[in-house]
Copies of this chain bind each other. A is one copy, B any other.
């Protein structure tokens, strides 16, 4: 049977009824790609959950299909969000499909080109705030509290409910079992929260017989959960996790502690190294923030973190969530590489250039 999106696939685990209008772009069902390079390094089975292959190019679509479906069910006429880019792209696309007006507030000058183009082309009203993400989020929260608009940031509980299906899917793809470790970038902290919800639920319902340790990774310059304090001016090249005061702070700590996992920081240099490794060795192009999960497990490996796991279980399983597609931020890729050389339309010039 054809895949019809995460609401139909996981309907019985979600707060929907027969009367809920399903606003879907057939999101989910993203590849779980075995990583040869990382498996060799860790001595484990490492998989890449390529969430960049959701319809708008990021993991946000899982939560957005549910949030916008529920907004439509409640006859909302406007949805609003603050965004570092991926949320606005997703909100704009699903709102367009639902025929609901969408307003997005972005930090001025801090959004990757691809993402900005998405919100605009899907007809959202895009407002650039002279401020950062945390201020933008504060403002849309206040507006949604006082006016008839539906907030579709991850504070909207339906976002996390939809997002938890990522965990269900990972388990289903692994042959109905949980991985041993789940590595994930942490920005606003909704994603780590949702995945943990999903893993717990599958365990509680006896679909799987274990739960992974949650390994969250923030960027060094935007690591409030690691520093245990708000970062007023978050700074990192990984714009999707450039957040200094995460909305799901407490829940992310619970996920970390309940799962006996950790949340650590990785440097921009480590993120970019992982970004290039994924592109050049695995053939997988991600936005920089996505590479934080891979940078994180490499850092942990170097520190000996997986030694015990390797002793206990020969082939332990690690899943790294890759949250967004590299096409979201083409400028970053262009910055990372040499420009193409121009040659005249002559065979000899081509032969010379490729040095056969």
Q: Interface on A for B, CB 8 Å cutoff?
A: 1-3, 25-26, 29, 31-33, 50, 53-57, 78, 80, 92-97, 103, 105-106, 108, 113-114, 116-118, 120-123, 125-131, 135-136, 139-140, 142-143, 147-149, 172-175, 276, 279-285, 325-328, 330-331, 333-334, 336-338, 340-345, 347, 350-351, 353-354, 356
Contact = CB atoms under 8 A, between A and B. Distances in A.
A334 B32 contact: no
A54 B29 CA distance: 12
B120 A334 contact: yes
A131 B149 CA distance: 53
The complex is assembled from copies of this chain, and their number is 2
A327 B327 CA distance: 6
A128 B354 contact: no
B121 A343 contact: no
A127 B341 contact: yes
A344 B130 CA distance: 5
A32 B26 contact: yes
A147 to B, nearest CB: 5
Nearest 3 interchain pairs by C-beta: A26-B31, A97-B283, A117-B333
B326 A118 contact: yes
Instruction: Specify which of A29, A31, A174 lies most central, judged by the most chain B CB atoms within 10 Å of its CB.
Output: A31
Contacts of A54: 53
- Majority DSSP secondary structure for residues of A touching B: mixed
Given A105-B350, A350-B143, A121 B345 contact: no
Contacts of A31: 3, 25-26, 29, 55
A123 B354 contact: no
A175 B86 CA distance: 33
A282 B123 CA distance: 11
B284 A25 contact: yes
Nearest to A147: B356
Contacts of A345: 129-131, 135-136, 139
Contacts of A130: 342-345
Contacts of A3: 29, 31
A2 B32 contact: yes
A55 B286 CA distance: 10
Given A3-B29, A128-B340, 15 more contacts: A2-B173, A25-B31, A78-B356, A106-B340, A116-B340, A117-B334, A118-B326, A121-B276, A121-B336, A122-B283, A139-B350, A142-B347, A143-B354, A325-B327, A330-B330
